[in-house]
Amino acid sequence: MQKNLRKPSLVSVALRCLAVREHSAHELAQKLANQGMGAKASKAEISKADIFKVVAQLTEEGLQSDERYAAALIRSKLSRGYGPLHLQYQLKSQHIDPAIYQPLLTGIDWPAHIQQVCRIKYGSKPARTVTETARRARFLAARGFPFELIRTVGLRMDGVDDGA
């Protein structure tokens, strides 16, 4: 009997997770599903239907919001120097609807952001060689910036004449 008293409910576990940071509905459901996976627990203890009811209830009450999660993730990743491709991948992996995050991504000044990322990483010194330009382009591509944006902003930033 005391086991049931000590075992937290799904709602309390979900609220604890949401108190720390925003979670997508998908991520919260995964965390709740993993709650019952202890050494002595069986998978049948927590049903998927119960999990989805709890997540739906929290969403309806405004305690869980994919919109807030998307905005928080975008803010966090932007401050760490990531680009639009990386952000889209992260949001898709959390099953966030593109209708939620596309307006948030289109409101960002990507050329200014990529210039800021370059200034933080490389300072104000332009790339002197083709090798250095390629190294910078690879860095930005790994951060999730599309090639066209890297090329356009990179050429303008480095002072390389593109023949135009």
Amino acid 47: pLDDT:
83
Q: Are residues 20 and 50 in the same domain?
A: yes
In a domain, 86, yes or no: yes
Amino acid 105: pLDDT:
95
Q: Are residues 56 and 90 in the same domain?
A: no
CA atoms of 147 and 4, how far apart (whole Å): 56
Q: Are residues 102 and 115 in the same domain?
A: no
Tokens 């996976």 correspond to: 37
Give the pLDDT of the chain (164 residues) as one tens digit per residue.
Answer: 344 444 578 899 999 999 999 999 999 999 998 886 554 555 556 788 899 999 999 999 999 999 999 999 999 999 999 999 999 999 999 999 999 999 999 999 999 999 999 999 998 888 888 899 899 999 999 999 999 999 887 655 444 444 43
Q: Are residues 94 and 125 in the same domain?
A: no
Q: CATH code at 138?
A: 1.10.10
**Contacts of residue 109, Cβ cutoff 8 Å, sequence gap at least 6:** none
160 token code pair = 């390389």
Question: Total domain count for the chain?
Answer: 3
In a domain, 2, yes or no: no
Amino acid 1: pLDDT:
37
The domain of 101 spans 67-106
124 token code pair = 């104000």
CA atoms of 32 and 10, how far apart (whole Å): 7
In a domain, 163, yes or no: no
Q: Are residues 79 and 93 in the same domain?
A: yes
Amino acid 78: pLDDT:
96
Fill in the DSSP letter of residue 134. Answer: H
Question: Measured between alpha carbons, how far is residue 155 from residues 56, 78, 84, 136, 158 in Å?
Answer: 48, 22, 19, 11, 5
- The total number of residues written for the chain in this structure: 164
pTM of the predicted protein model: 0.79
CB 157 within 8 A of CB 121: no
Q: Are residues 13 and 54 in the same domain?
A: yes
